């Protein structure tokens, strides 16, 4: 990918990190070196490559402290856009056997997440609201709206 990035042939990359806390990523069976992921995102930014991602909140056993730490670390990196999706339980996955977060707690977490993102000073929009009231939140770094060319 480096030759394409250095030639500026790539304008944006979708990098679905799914979370930004090592313990939660390990439970998801995903790469959990958040420092390295962050370095990659920052390196792509140096070449004006916008990194789009998604993040799952409310994964079984996730604590509010882990969510807050993950969002704080993520917003310090140069992601251009991140869609925050509420965890959705699927019976066939290993996570279904973990203790689930109750809906009331998920709704509280959704409100807290929105507050954390708004506090970053960047743009936060509600993309979709599920029937249970949980929102998909879209966080876009303000600089990408004003400084970056539109991508297809």
Query: pLDDT of the chain along its 152 residues, tens only?
Result: 666 667 766 788 899 999 999 999 999 999 889 999 999 999 988 888 889 999 999 999 999 999 999 999 999 999 999 999 999 887 778 888 889 999 999 999 999 999 999 998 888 899 888 889 999 999 998 877 765 555 54
105/110 Cα distance (integer angstroms): 9
Q: What burial class does residue 106 get, using C-beta atoms within 10 Å of its C-beta: 0-12 exposed, 13-18 middle, 19+ buried?
A: middle
The two tokens of residue 126 are 């509600």
148/150 Cα distance (integer angstroms): 6
pLDDT at residue number 28 = 92
pLDDT at residue number 1 = 60
- Cα radius of gyration rounded to whole Å, the chain: 16
């Amino acid at each position: 990918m480096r030759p394409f990035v250095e030639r500026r042939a790539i304008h944006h990359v979708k990098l679905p990190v799914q979370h930004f806390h090592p313990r939660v990523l390990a439970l998801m069976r995903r790469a959990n070196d958040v420092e390295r992921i962050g370095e990659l995102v920052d390196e792509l930014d140096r070449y004006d490559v916008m990194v789009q991602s998604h993040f799952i909140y409310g994964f079984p056993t996730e604590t509010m402290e882990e969510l807050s730490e993950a969002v704080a670390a993520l917003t310090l990196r140069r992601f251009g856009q991140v869609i925050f999706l509420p965890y959705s339980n699927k019976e066939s996955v290993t996570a279904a056997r973990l203790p689930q977060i109750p809906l009331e707690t998920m709704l509280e977490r959704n409100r807290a997440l929105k507050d954390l993102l708004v506090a970053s000073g960047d743009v936060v929009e509600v993309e979709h609201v599920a029937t249970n009231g949980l929102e998909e939140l879209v966080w876009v770094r303000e600089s990408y709206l004003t400084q970056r060319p539109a991508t297809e």
